[in-house]
Structure 1
Amino acid sequence: MEIIHLNDGNLREWQKQSRRNVIALGFFDGVHKGHQKVIRTARQIAEKSDAALDVMSFFPHPKTVLSGGRVQVDYLMPLEEKARALEALGVDRFYIVEFTKAFASLLKEDYIKAYLDRFDTIHAVAGYDFSYGFKGEGTIDSLEADSGGRIAASRVEQVAYQGEKISSTRIRSAILEGRISEVQQLMGRKYRTCADISQGYLSLKPYYMLPQDGIYDVVIDTGTGRHVSQIHVDRKAQKISFTRQCLMDEIDQNEIAITWERRIASYSFYQLMA
């Protein structure tokens, strides 16, 4: 899968290198089950149309840019993790548009011309709540008309779990409250983060979320081996420690991956036992 960062400086060059494609549009933070439905729908259309399957997203989050940095968003995963999830779904190209105030100010027709028409997009697929153009005036329902009929569009309805919409916001809440089994149901895979090791503690790398205080069953992947373990999370300090400290002596890498299995005890219970 190709990963292409788009900005004002290279936009025209990548327009020239475009090819016939079906594109999935959205932010796709977490690449959860709702996002997966959007991408699988686009893949089915691409296969029938003998076209490439592309995803176009953007970074950083619009709320951060439009607030002048005052609003900071808790991301579920960094771009490289998002790319791995998209590649597993069969995506050919992953476009990441630099989100700026100028990009947000584009008229909806100008957005379609610059980012879809000139990229040879024949069909766009997005969730029911996707919007584009200045003040979000364009929606997936208006895209075909906004393109003058040149680009077909498909709307994907929401995906629910236990009667409630699956969303990145819901997943963030579940992580913050330590509901790891629910996170797995919403994302369609186990929650995985990368961490650095420093001074006997683990700290998550940027753009990952740290779950609620407590004790968790996890699997630690060092790249050369996997260890079933338990860790203690201290959210206030943004630190993670092993409940069995001797495991730290077995790990000589500076970076590891943590697959979160379940929360088994609260912070207060851990303090009592300690």
Structure 2
Amino acid sequence: MEIIWLDDKNLKEWQCRSRRNVIALGFFDGVHKGHQKVLQTAGLIAEKEGAAFDVMSFFPHPKTVLSNGRITVDYLMPLEEKARALEAFGVDRFYIVKFTKAFASLLKEEYVDTYLKRMGTIHAVAGYDFSYGFRGEGTIDSLTADSGGEITASKVEKVTYRGEKISSTRIRSAILNGRISETEALTGRKYRTCAVISGGHLSLKPYYMLPQDGVYDVIIDTGTRQYDTQIHVDNRVQKISFTRRCLLDEIDHNEIAITWKRRVATYSRYQLVAQ
């Protein structure tokens, strides 16, 4: 899969290098089951049409840009992990548009012409709540008209779990409240983060979230070995502590992956061996 950052400097180049494609549109943070439905739909249509299967997203989050940085967004995964998840669905190209105020100010017809028609798109797929163009005036329902009838479109309806919409916002809430099993139900996989250990201190890598305070059963993966263990989270200071000091000493100076299994206790109910 090709990963292509699009901005004003290279946009024309990639328009010239475009080929016939079906494209999935969205932010895709967490690549949850709602996103997966969009990707599966686009992949099937691309196969049927004999076209490339592409994804177009954007970065950073619009809320951060439009608020001049006053609003920060808790991302569920960094872009490289998002790319790996998209590649697993058979995506050929992953376009990441640099989100700017100028991009946000494009009229909906300008967005479709510049980023879809001139990029070779014949069909677009998005969720029912996807919007584009100035003030989000364009939707998947208006896309065919906005393209002058040149691009057809498919809308993926709301995907739910226990009667409520699956969304990145809902997943963030589940993580922040320590509901790890719910996170797995919404994404179809266990929650996973990456961290760096240096001199006995463990810090989360950028664009991951820490669950609510408490003690969790986890799997630590160093790349060469896995450990079933427990860790304590202090979300207020963004700190992770091991309940087994000997394990921390053993894997110090490593980059690790943490797979979160379940929350087993709050800090007040658990006496840490490490302290």
Does TM, scored on the shorter chain, surpass 0.5? yes
Match for residue 129 of structure 1?
A: 129
Q: Deviations over 1:187-222 (max 9, x none)?
A: 111111010113323211111000001111111111
Match for residue 193 of structure 1?
A: 193
Match for residue 94 of structure 2?
A: 94
Task: Using the TM superposition, give the Cα deviation of residue 254 of structure 1 relative to its aligned residue in structure 2, in angstroms.
Answer: 2.8
Task: Using the TM superposition, give the Cα deviation of residue 266 of structure 1 relative to its aligned residue in structure 2, in angstroms.
Answer: 0.9
Match for residue 84 of structure 2?
A: 84
CA distance in 2, matches of 1:63, 1:141: 23
Partner of 2:74, secondary structure, is coil
Match for residue 155 of structure 2?
A: 155
Match for residue 40 of structure 2?
A: 40
Unaligned regions of 5+ residues in structure 1, if any? Answer: none
CA distance in 2, matches of 1:138, 1:84: 29
Partner of 2:237, secondary structure, is coil
CA distance in 1, matches of 2:199, 2:237: 14
Q: Structure 1 residues 61, 83: CA separation in 2 closer, same or farther (over 3 Å shift)? A: same
Task: Using the TM superposition, give the Cα deviation of residue 271 of structure 1 relative to its aligned residue in structure 2, in angstroms.
Answer: 4.3
Q: Give TM-score, length-normalised by structure 1.
A: 0.98
Say whether residues 1:106 and 2:106 are aligned partners: yes
Q: Deviations over 1:101-160 (max 9, x none)?
A: 000000111101110001100000000000000011100000001101100000000110
CA distance in 2, matches of 1:157, 1:30: 18
Q: Give TM-score, length-normalised by structure 2.
A: 0.97
CA distance in 1, matches of 2:103, 2:58: 10
Match for residue 266 of structure 1?
A: 266
Q: Deviations over 1:78-116 (max 9, x none)?
A: 101110111111111100000000000001111011100
CA distance in 2, matches of 1:272, 1:123: 55
Q: Structure 1 residues 252, 203: CA separation in 2 closer, same or farther (over 3 Å shift)? A: closer
Q: What code does the residue aligned with 1:184 have?
A: E
Match for residue 69 of structure 1?
A: 69
Task: Using the TM superposition, give the Cα deviation of residue 242 of structure 1 relative to its aligned residue in structure 2, in angstroms.
Answer: 1.0
Q: Deviations over 1:29-71 (max 9, x none)?
A: 0000000000000000000001111000000000000000000
CA distance in 2, matches of 1:78, 1:231: 22
Q: What code does the residue aligned with 2:24 have?
A: A
Q: What code does the residue aligned with 1:16 have?
A: C
CA distance in 2, matches of 1:89, 1:221: 24
Q: What code does the residue aligned with 1:65 have?
A: V
Q: What code does the residue aligned with 1:155 have?
A: K
Q: Structure 1 residues 171, 118: CA separation in 2 closer, same or farther (over 3 Å shift)? A: same
Q: What code does the residue aligned with 2:67 have?
A: S
CA distance in 1, matches of 2:202, 2:164: 34
CA distance in 1, matches of 2:123, 2:197: 45
CA distance in 2, matches of 1:201, 1:58: 33
Match for residue 214 of structure 2?
A: 214
Match for residue 29 of structure 1?
A: 29
Partner of 1:46, secondary structure, is helix
Partner of 2:236, secondary structure, is coil
Match for residue 118 of structure 1?
A: 118
Task: Using the TM superposition, give the Cα deviation of residue 261 of structure 1 relative to its aligned residue in structure 2, in angstroms.
Answer: 0.6
Say whether residues 1:142 and 2:145 are aligned partners: no
CA distance in 2, matches of 1:92, 1:56: 11
Identical counterparts, % of pairs: 78
